[in-house]
A and B are shown apart, each in its own frame.
Chain A
Amino acid sequence: MSLPTPDTAHLRRPEYASVYEPAEDTFLLLDALESDRVELQALRPTVCVEIGSGSGCVSAFLGQVLDPHPALIISTDINPAANAATQETAARCTTPIALLEQCCTRFVQALDTRLAGKVDVLVFNPPYVVTPTEEIDSTPEASAWAGGRDGREVLDQLLPQIPALLSPAGRFYLVVIEQNNPDEVAQILAEHGLLGTRVLSRMAGREHLSILRFTRKHAE
């Protein structure tokens, strides 16, 4: 039985005009989380973080994937409209999400020290589109997709922090396109002791999307 996609109809309202609407990349990530549902439930995550939650579709879905087991899910975004959208998406879920919290910040700034070694599930659908560097964060909308050179400039700022955030059995889900050079991303994280697997791939128009999942090489 498949889980319902969170209702994000409120994104049509003008106050949410700058928030990225769920699209093929979002749905591929939902599919990856759903196909890992048994494993994720067995892991019994206590702390989950989504970086750049946008509409909140993925954060709310993660809450449903873990249901009936509550977890602290912290959704971050640098766009306050996205924080509000995420809050509303969670509130509209038919299955109430026990503990979905918002934080307006860049990546996990202000949270990283306390969350070090505590994040059981980390999710990031980064701004992966190849653009000129100047387009990065040029508008709230652009922050959701403009990724600069190879679509990697924003992601590359975060990558070195990932290993420190994950708990011993923690896992990291990442959306990439082929232009991002997924093998190189995996290699960078491998140098930090994380093992990457491509769990799902799909063509969406001209985008060849994949979901990568990383765990510690010597996971408990």
Chain B
Amino acid sequence: MRLITHNMLKCHVKNCNDPDKQFPLRFKDAQLEQIEAERNDEFLVRMLPRIEWSALATTATELGIELPKEVPKVPADDDAFMQALHTAIMEMHVKGGSMVCNGCGHEYKITKGIPNMLLAEHEI
């Protein structure tokens, strides 16, 4: 699982509904692996508006991945920014560990790079 996918995940436990705490989920014991990938700036620029930047920046920092706090005015012109974005969302993979909700404390496991977001009947 890459951080771009983590950026789309929100706790969905029943009665857990404080939007400030359900998202982003906090990584616990994350096993990271970097796999080199070809950089495509055109795609990164298209993807940017769909990212919750503060959530991505906070999460990256927690995992020790460098990412600026703010998106520059013209991102495509900032090579260092584009490289950092590329590394953070395209190259870093979370292979194992879990994601914890800051609201209800529910823990979602990540196995072989696949997050398990299924809940038991009583949690839905």
Contacts and interface: CB of A to CB of B under 8 A. Distances in A.
Is the pairing of A and B real?
A: yes
Contact of A69 (B9, B43, B114): B43
Interface residues of A, number: 28
Given A78-B118, A110-B9, A115-B8, A72 B1 contact: no
Contact of B10 (A70, A101, A110): A110
Nearest to B52: A114
Question: What DSSP secondary structure best describes chain B's contact surface?
Answer: loop
Given A46-B47, A111-B8, A104 B115 contact: yes
Nearest to B108: A110
Interface in A20-48: 44, 46-47
A103 B117 contact: yes
A106 interface: yes
B113 interface: yes
Contacts of A70: 40, 43
Nearest to A109: B12
B34 interface: no
Contact of A110 (B11, B90, B113): B11
Contacts, number: 80
A114 B118 contact: no
Nearest to B4: A72
Contact of A46 (B12, B50, B52, B118): B50
Interface in B85-124: 90, 108, 111-119
A78 B120 CA distance: 12
B76 to A, nearest CB: 15
Q: Which of A99, A105, A109, A110 has the most CB of B within 10 A?
A: A110
A113 interface: yes
Interface stretch (A80-88, A179-187, A196-204, A205-213): A80-88
A47 B114 contact: no
B46 interface: yes
Nearest to B115: A103
Interface in B1-60: 1-2, 4-5, 7-12, 23, 37-38, 40, 42-43, 46-47, 50, 52
Contacts of B37: 98
B111 A101 contact: no
A83 B40 contact: no
Nearest to A117: B50
A208 to B, nearest CB: 33
A103 B5 contact: yes
A105 B12 CA distance: 11
Contact of A99 (B12, B90, B118): B90
Contacts of A103: 1, 5, 9, 114-115, 117
A111 B5 CA distance: 9
Given A98-B38, A105-B116, 4 more contacts: A87-B114, A99-B4, A104-B115, A113-B23
